[in-house]
Amino acid sequence: MTEEGYFTQTILQELENGLVILNREGQIIEFNPAAQRITGYQREEVIGRFYREIWGVDPPPATQERETSIGSKKVSIKSKISPVINEAGELLGWVDIFQDLSPVQEKMALAEVGEAAAQVAHEIKNPLGGIKGFASLLKREAREESQERLITHIAEGIANIDKLVNDLLDFTRPQPQPKQLVDLNLIAQEALTLLAQEADLRKIAVESQMKGKGMKIEGHSLKLRQAILNLLLNAVQAMPQGGKVVIKTFRRGERASISISDTGCGIPPQFKDQIFKPFFSKREGGTGLGLALVRRIVSAHQGEISLRSKVGKGTTVSLYFPLPSSSEKSPTKIRDRSSNLRSRKNK
């Protein structure tokens, strides 16, 4: 590969927007990594295919901007496609640059949910406290076991509503940015301590595999512990008949990682892209906010989530967080490569 070709390839790799290049027949001849990530299509799936097969329309004769849905993930994108014409006025092909609108739409939806959550919390919290107090008084005065059981059910219902309101408020509040070095091993151990009683009640074995050193990241210990505990509770709840949870911390490249595996029911393939979305839950009584909050916390720490699951076998969720040194190096990646190109060219 020539230096110019290497430079061009580097730009294609580093672009955050999706880039598609078409020949004059409207066939796809380039599909960069961001396009793969946004649409869900792999490069080998689309190279050589016609634009209309993917987008549902032919390339326009003039520059066009539009919002549309695209790809196997059915995401919403904003696209700008322009014809490429040479000096003789001949059409050479098209260039389509697009961005994923899903994060913007999600932020708008979260803002609306946040406003609604504040109103709901205000309307529910005060009367809920009163009902809880009255239930406690009734339980003291109950003279029969059957009455105590009924009052206990009332108290449990109140606790569930209170948890839903608190989860909703936690989810809609802005996540604080990481400010201090925290030890991922220590946070994981704290989460395991909080899980111990629940695991014992459900007859679930817990195995811990912690890497010895090099697991400090920039973060908020309380938020990270909340995310890990949510994943552990989700794993436990996936094994109503008992089973095993394995929690590991490890290094992968310039990232500190933690994974939580269970031997539970697994997640059907059609639900894998939805379980981290707010209010999605297949568990009876679930609010659908626990895993959505995990995603928000991980995102606030510039982390990533991966999920592997097989129905009837279990699930593994892995969280990846940048180590302090890697976060400092990442902004200079393109500059360093271009500097290398210049130095090679001058030799």
Both 248 and 308 in one domain: the answer is yes
Helix (H) or strand (E) holding 338: helix 333-346
Tokens 């395991």 correspond to 192
Tokens 């639900």 correspond to 271
- Dihedral pair phi/psi, residue 193, rounded to 5°: -60, -40
Question: What pLDDT does 163 receive?
Answer: 72
**pLDDT tens-digit map of 273-301:** 778 877 666 666 566 677 888 888 898 88
Comparing CA positions, the residue from 274, 280, 292 lying closest to residue 74 is 274
Comparing CA positions, the residue from 210, 208, 235, 196 lying closest to residue 314 is 235
Tokens 């909080």 correspond to 194
Which residues span the domain enclosing 118?
104-172
**pLDDT tens-digit map of 139-158:** 777 777 777 788 887 887 78
Question: What pLDDT does 331 receive?
Answer: 38
Question: What pLDDT does 6 receive?
Answer: 63
Both 189 and 255 in one domain: the answer is yes
Both 315 and 190 in one domain: the answer is yes
Torsion angle in degrees (nearest 10) through CA of 52, 57, 62, 67? -110
165 in a structural domain: yes
Comparing CA positions, the residue from 260, 281, 266 lying closest to residue 195 is 260
Question: What pLDDT does 141 receive?
Answer: 77
Both 53 and 141 in one domain: the answer is no
Last residue of a domain, one of 100, 125, 148: 100
111 in a structural domain: yes
Q: Based on the structure, what is the number of domains in the chain?
A: 3
- Neighbouring residues of 98: CB distance < 8 A, sequence distance ≥ 6: 17, 18, 20, 35, 38, 70, 77, 78, 79, 80
Quick one: tokens of 131? 């009902």
